[in-house]
Amino acid sequence: MKPSYHIAVLPGDGIGKEVMQAAEQVLGQVAERVGVSFRLDYQQAGAQHYVDSGVALPADTLKVCEQADAILFGAMGLPHVRGADGTEIIPQLDLRFHFDLYAGVRPIRTFKGLPTPLASPKASEIDFVLVRESTEGLFYARGRGDVRGDDEVYDTMKITRTGTARICEFAFKLAERRALLKGRPARVTNVDKANVFASMAFWRRIFEESAARHPGVASDSAYVDAMALNLVMKPWAYDVMVTENMFGDILSDLIAALVGGMGMAPSADIGDRHALFQPAHGTAPDIAGQGKANPTAMILSAAMMLDWLGDRHGDTRLSDGAALMDAAVQQVFASGAVRPMEFGGVNGTADITQAVMNALRQVR
Ligand code: ATP
């Protein structure tokens, strides 16, 4: 067990800064409760930093991230700040590639006490994880677009055996871990478009090879268009889902909507040596600076960080801390103590953070 955990903290732009303050407060309290120490090392990066300095992700920031035990990330990007090719400044993509954070982990579940857009009572059973391949797929084309005059543009989808096998293995291992924790059968659903693209037929073949290595885990495959339908019709039917980068990008917003809002969806970007934890939402320029942001996704992302660190360092204090944060968040909404503005309530960042801190004192 380490005496102190070094966390590189990149608040970023817009509401990233606001929700990071909330996470810092909650982390401080949980650290005291379980007896661990965090060294939060704040670093510059983002679209505003690009405007101020000409660099979105400074070398010094990268170095600190390299040395840290984990990276905690708010949100980055501002719609009006763009590079020469017209695309937004998105350092989180550079971090994913730089640290080979190949597994985008997006857990989603409904919260007692908060409404969901789905009418079925089964919506209360939604509890699954979307695993997104994050280093290749169609995002490989970023910065490599083949622009031919003013008539044609080509973006290339890259699917490799190594990249696909490691993300499928990750998904199967995650399903096995969840089955142990939740006492229910493990299942992995592969999402592709194998009926149309050679790259996706190849992806499916690698998925099936991985499935054969995990006979104890049920597995199946679906086309991404059918999955878009199923995620609205019966999202409670899934456990772990694995998919290509671009499909994962789109479906992760869809699944955040299933639980009522972006402010409830945490995420992690995990590699073999490094990991970054950030809310699934962006910088939300429409509400930035008004204290309206829901910090729950950021707080739950910090809880995922504790869980990952606990597992990696064999430190049960951290896993206990993660479970306490999770229980506190659940209690806050189940009790009706607060209702976030994105759910039509009156509570903003400060109220929700305070409510989670109060609940943290009570949960066991
Ligand atoms: P990106 O391209 O980085 O995903 P975006 O602008 O497409 O960013 P978000 O920044 O996530 O998307 O915002 C989408 C919508 O969700 C906005 O209306 C925003 O106000 C809302 N939203 C996002 N995060 C939160 C939050 N934490 N609390 C409340 N509302 C949020």
Whose Cα sits closest to atom 13 in ligand 1? 284
Classified as helix, coil or strand, 114 is coil
CATH level 3 topology of 117-258: Isopropylmalate Dehydrogenase (3.40.718)
- What separation in Å is there between the alpha carbon of 277 and the centre of ligand 1? 17
- What separation in Å is there between the alpha carbon of 14 and the centre of ligand 1? 10
Q: Do domains 1-102+273-364 and 117-258 have the same CATH topology?
A: yes
Asked whether the CA dihedral 175, 176, 181, 185 is positive or negative, the reply is positive
d(CA 300, CA 42): 19
CATH code linked to domain 1-102+273-364: 3.40.718.10
Q: Averaged over 67-79, what is the pLDDT?
A: 97
Query: pTM of the predicted model, to two decimals?
Result: 0.94
Local confidence band at 86 (pLDDT 50, 70, 90 cut-offs): confident
Please say whether the beta carbons of 137 and 157 come within 8 A.
yes
- What separation in Å is there between the alpha carbon of 1 and the centre of ligand 1? 37
Is pLDDT of 362 > 80?
yes
- What separation in Å is there between the alpha carbon of 162 and the centre of ligand 1? 33
Question: Mutation test of ligand 1: which of 114, 262, 338 has the most ligand atoms closer than 8 Å to its C-beta?
Answer: 262
Is pLDDT of 313 > 90?
yes
pLDDT at 187: 98
pLDDT at 250: 96
d(CA 30, CA 322): 9
Is pLDDT of 245 > 90?
yes
Q: Measured in whole angstroms, how far is the alpha carbon of residue 167 from the centre of its chain?
A: 15
d(CA 289, CA 61): 24
Is pLDDT of 183 > 80?
yes
- What separation in Å is there between the alpha carbon of 282 and the centre of ligand 1? 5
d(CA 55, CA 44): 10
Closest ligand 1 atom to 75 CA: 3
pLDDT digits (tens, 9 = 90+) for 266-281: 999 999 999 999 999 9
Report the pocket of ligand 1 as residue ranges, CB < 6 Å. 15, 77, 261-263, 281-284, 286-287, 293-294, 297, 342
pLDDT at 230: 98
pLDDT at 87: 79
- DSSP structure string for 141-203: GTTT-EEETTTEEE---B--HHHHHHHHHHHHHHHHHHHHHHTS--EEEEEE-TTT-HHHHHH
Whose Cα sits closest to atom 14 in ligand 1? 284
Q: Where are the domains of the chain?
A: 1-102+273-364, 117-258
Is pLDDT of 1 > 80?
no
- What separation in Å is there between the alpha carbon of 322 and the centre of ligand 1? 25
pLDDT digits (tens, 9 = 90+) for 146-176: 999 999 999 999 999 999 999 999 999 999 9
Q: Averaged over 223-251, what is the pLDDT?
A: 97
- What would the two tokens of residue 23 be? 């996470």
pLDDT at 4: 94
Q: Measured in whole angstroms, how far is the alpha carbon of residue 94 from the centre of its chain?
A: 16
pLDDT at 69: 98
Place of tokens 């280093």: 135
pLDDT digits (tens, 9 = 90+) for 3-37: 899 999 999 999 999 999 999 999 999 999 999 99
pLDDT at 351: 98
Select from 46, 53, 54 the least CA-distant residue to 20. Answer: 46
